[in-house]
């Protein structure tokens, strides 16, 4: 199967006790395998704020100080107080005197087209940019030697599943990883995933370097499925709550790989907009945040995944009364062949909380 850039130009009602789960995962770099990739569809992407640390050209000019402050407020609405302070975006606008060089720089800005040399304007060291819609994915990996008791509602202990995506600290919405390519970093290079993207981190951690190279495997993230990797976890405690921080994926030592890494208990697979089935959704037991993200995709209406989700949710609702009377045995997804999935390419700049209802 191939969840690939095309070209290179659970909705359960029970509440999960995360304290009880997190304490079962010891601090370590665990052996893991990529177990699930979920196509989140084509997502509308919020405006982004890019500063001069990323590119010196990310500077904005305004005719009045009031306009500059309004722009700072707009950026704050996008990224929040913490990022504004960390990146220095909340610094007061700088007063600058217009010279010939600056006139040339802002000549295409209608708001500043009437400036003359010697005039005073105001500068902030960032730009707010609109971003194109992008196909996004979510990654999951199972710690193959860590079996966790999720509670009696979830049956027998399972290999601990980690979602590698994060949630937005303001909106609590799942953050998908955009299937986006960036320009070559050097002459002779190719368009590929950004160096710091999760796609690149997984390619390196799993040894799938061909995903980042020119050729048939370029951009094919489905190659990560079932591949072994290391995932560091660290517990932290605040009050009576225990949190689990998951670090960046890393490669496993050659000695560990030579000895062999424990297999997954379930079939590794990808859930896609074109081929999603009720069986896949039932086996994956996706958390509500993932389902909500999928439903926000612009290509969700009339898609195969919409049909599968609605049928799955309806079956969950109709089964609720029966579930109250009779606890079902733990289902184990059978191993099966992988399917092909294709995600669209979007060319642009690339940039730990858990759901309360379902642990996956």
Element (H, E) at 305: helix 304-325
Tell me the pLDDT of the chain averaged across its residues. Answer: 86
Write out pLDDT tens, residues 196-208: 999 999 999 999 9
37/344 Cα distance (integer angstroms): 15
pLDDT at position 54, please?
A: 84
| Segment 283-290 mean pLDDT | 92
Place of tokens 């560990």: 256
Place of tokens 């789960």: 21
Write out pLDDT tens, residues 103-139: 999 988 988 989 999 999 999 999 999 989 999 999 9
Longest alpha-carbon distance in the chain: 81
pLDDT band at residue 360, thresholds of 50, 70 and 90?
A: low
285/283 Cα distance (integer angstroms): 6
pLDDT band at residue 25, thresholds of 50, 70 and 90?
A: very high
Question: Which residues pair with residue 29 across a beta bridge?
Answer: 232
pLDDT at position 189, please?
A: 86
pLDDT band at residue 187, thresholds of 50, 70 and 90?
A: confident
DSSP 31: E
Element (H, E) at 124: strand 120-124
Cβ atoms of residues 309 and 40 within 8 Å: no
């Amino acid at each position: 199967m191939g969840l690939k850039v095309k070209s290179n130009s659970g909705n359960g009602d029970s509440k999960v006790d995360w304290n009880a789960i997190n304490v079962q995962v010891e601090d370590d770099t665990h052996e893991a395998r990529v177990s699930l990739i979920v196509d989140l569809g084509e997502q509308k992407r919020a405006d982004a704020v890019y500063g001069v640390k990323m590119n010196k050209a990310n500077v904005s000019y305004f005719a009045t100080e009031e306009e500059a402050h309004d722009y700072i407020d707009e950026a704050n609405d996008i990224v929040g107080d913490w990022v504004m302070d960390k990146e220095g975006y909340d610094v007061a606008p700088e007063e600058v005197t217009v010279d010939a060089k600056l006139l040339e720089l802002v000549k295409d800005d209608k708001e500043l087209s009437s400036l003359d040399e010697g005039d005073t304007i105001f500068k902030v060291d960032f730009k707010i940019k609109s971003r194109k819609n992008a196909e996004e994915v979510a990654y999951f990996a199972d710690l193959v030697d860590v079996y966790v008791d999720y509670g009696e509602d979830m049956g027998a202990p399972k290999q601990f599943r980690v979602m590698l995506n994060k949630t937005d600290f303001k909106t609590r919405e799942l953050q998908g990883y955009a299937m986006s390519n960036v320009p070559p970093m050097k002459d002779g290079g190719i368009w590929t995933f950004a160096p710091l993207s999760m796609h690149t981190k997984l390619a390196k951690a799993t040894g799938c370097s061909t995903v980042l190279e020119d050729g048939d495997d370029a951009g094919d993230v489905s190659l990560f499925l079932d591949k072994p990797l290391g995932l560091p976890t660290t517990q932290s405690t605040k009050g009576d709550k225990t949190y689990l921080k998951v670090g960046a994926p890393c490669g496993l030592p050659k000695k560990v790989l030579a000895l062999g890494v424990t297999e997954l208990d379930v079939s590794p697979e990808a859930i896609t907009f074109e081929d999603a089935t009720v069986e896949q959704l039932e086996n994956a037991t996706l958390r509500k945040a993932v389902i909500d993200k999928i439903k926000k995709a612009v290509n969700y209406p009339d898609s195969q995944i919409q049909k599968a989700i609605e049928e799955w949710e309806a079956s969950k609702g109709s089964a609720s009364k029966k579930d109250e009377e009779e606890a079902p045995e733990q289902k184990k997804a059978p191993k099966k062949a992988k399917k092909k999935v294709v995600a669209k390419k979007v060319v642009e700049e690339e940039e730990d909380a858990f759901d309360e209802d379902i642990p996956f």
